[in-house]
Amino acid sequence: MLITRPANPEDAQAISQLMQQLGYEISPELMQSKIEFMTMSEMDAVFVAEITDQIVGVISIHALELFHACGKLGRITSLVVDKNMRQQGVGKLLFSTTESFFRAQNCVRIEVTSSDHRTDAHAFYQSLGFKIDQRRFIK
């Protein structure tokens, strides 16, 4: 059975391996410290998806207070589903969990960025109702 739950520091090894599938080399030790840091904040969360105690996906998120309007901005900072589990509802379940978190945080908008070459991810986000907005500047 597929479930989501908050990540804990003991998940660092599995999450680190998932992040490698996106091309990010993050040691389990660094991942553990990031999970510990994020779980101390009410504005941050990391959720994992698992099937029979095996982690098959992870999402990290942040709620940011808006200065110019009421409410907060929900930001997905990372989302990865194991390459062998894609197109099986894992990402949708993680996003559903994320939406619940953001609703509880009074987020009025959700945003995510994705590299140009991740066309499958773009299609996934669009299937969830996201629209492409190319007004972002990075330095």
One digit per residue, the tens of pLDDT, for the chain of length 139 reads 999 999 999 999 999 999 999 889 999 999 999 999 999 999 999 999 999 999 999 999 999 999 998 999 999 999 999 999 999 999 999 999 999 999 999 999 999 887 777 878 788 788 888 888 877 677 8
35, HSE (Cβ side, Cα atoms, 13 Å): 23
- Give the pLDDT score at 138: 72
Rounded-to-integer distance, Cα 35 and Cα 29, Å: 10
- Is 92 within the bounds of a domain? yes
Q: What is the pTM of this model?
A: 0.91
- Is 27 within the bounds of a domain? yes
- Is 138 within the bounds of a domain? no
Containing structural domain, residue 111:
2-127
> Could you give the dihedral angle defined by the CA atoms of residues 94, 82, 79 and 29, in that order, rounded to the nearest 10 degrees?
110
What CATH number did the domain enclosing 106 receive?
3.40.630.30
Residue with tokens 């907060």: 72
- Give the pLDDT score at 113: 82
- Give the pLDDT score at 117: 78
How does DSSP classify residue 5? E
CA distances from 62 to 44, 65, 69, 81, 86 (A): 4, 10, 17, 19, 24
- Give the pLDDT score at 54: 96
- Is 137 within the bounds of a domain? no
Total domains, the chain:
1
Contact criterion met (CB below 8 Å) for 33 and 95: no
- Give the pLDDT score at 25: 93
- Give the pLDDT score at 97: 97
- Is 134 within the bounds of a domain? no
